[in-house]
Amino acid sequence: MTGRGKFITLEGIDGAGKSTHLAWLVDFLRSRGRTVVQTREPGGTPLGEKLRELLLSEPMHLETEALLMFAARREHLERVIWPALERGDWVVCDRFTDASFAYQGGGRGLSHDKIQQLENWVQGGFQPDLTLLFDLPVEIAMQRIAGAARQLDRFEQEQRDFHERVRAAYLDRARQMPERVKVIDARMNCARIQNELENIFSTY
Ligand code: TMP
């Protein structure tokens, strides 16, 4: 695709602080002259946002959960992500398929093979150009979540061992795909993280 934009995803366990860094990153890229579409998963389309509400609140079978994540993703790719990239825009997305491998795979124990099948079906070989994995010890992340002045969602309410499995699955993917997935130590202060992000994007 000539002039195709870049697809950047941000990942991490709940409480890793990626939303704060996402806002900074979008401003940073815009200041460098990029046209940026900021979006999120599950969500990013009217239907996807409805599915998100269900996914974050309604108890369901783990395979239903995976299917709904990928249903929302199909809609998102078709209506938002692919058209934006075709226009030459950059897309910065708060979570994508690595989250399905980490949460539905690592966290819930759904087989890698089933998730892989869904991935092949829904996105073919399409992958992010770059994934920023904000990594943080679960203990610190859980303290941050506990301090949030709002109702916790179905994933945030999970026990520590769930989040440990999610973190391990994310780190595993970073080890398997080091070119695409960059691990950022989310214990660092904002200024250092921003510095690291600037370095990463200096080659883009
Ligand atoms: P957020 O709080 O970062 O917006 O994400 C919502 C939750 O959805 C988060 O706890 C992780 C979860 N999630 C999955 O379990 N699988 C997925 O494929 C995605 C995109 C998110």
Instruction: Render pLDDT for 130-145 as a digit per residue (tens, 0 to 9).
Output: 999 999 999 999 999 9
Q: Is 106 in the pocket of ligand 1 (CB under 6 A)?
A: no
Q: Is 16 in the pocket of ligand 1 (CB under 6 A)?
A: no
Q: Is 44 in the pocket of ligand 1 (CB under 6 A)?
A: no
Mutate to test the pocket of ligand 1, among 10, 52, 75, 155 (most ligand atoms within 8 A of CB): 155
pLDDT over 90 percentage in the chain? 95
Under 8 Å between Cβ of 133 and 12: yes
User: 157 φ, ψ to 5°?
Assistant: -75, -10
Instruction: Render pLDDT for 30-65 as a digit per residue (tens, 0 to 9).
Output: 999 999 999 999 999 999 999 999 999 999 999 999
d(CA 103, CA 16): 14
Per-residue pLDDT, 80: 98
d(CA 22, CA 17): 9
Mean pLDDT in residue range 8-28: 96
DSSP string, 58-85: S---HHHHHHHHHHHHHHHIIIIIHHHH
For residue 159, the CA-to-ligand 1 centroid distance in Å is: 16
Mean pLDDT in residue range 97-111: 98
Under 8 Å between Cβ of 138 and 165: no
Ramachandran area for residue 3 (φ above 0: left; ψ -120 to 50: alpha; else beta)? left
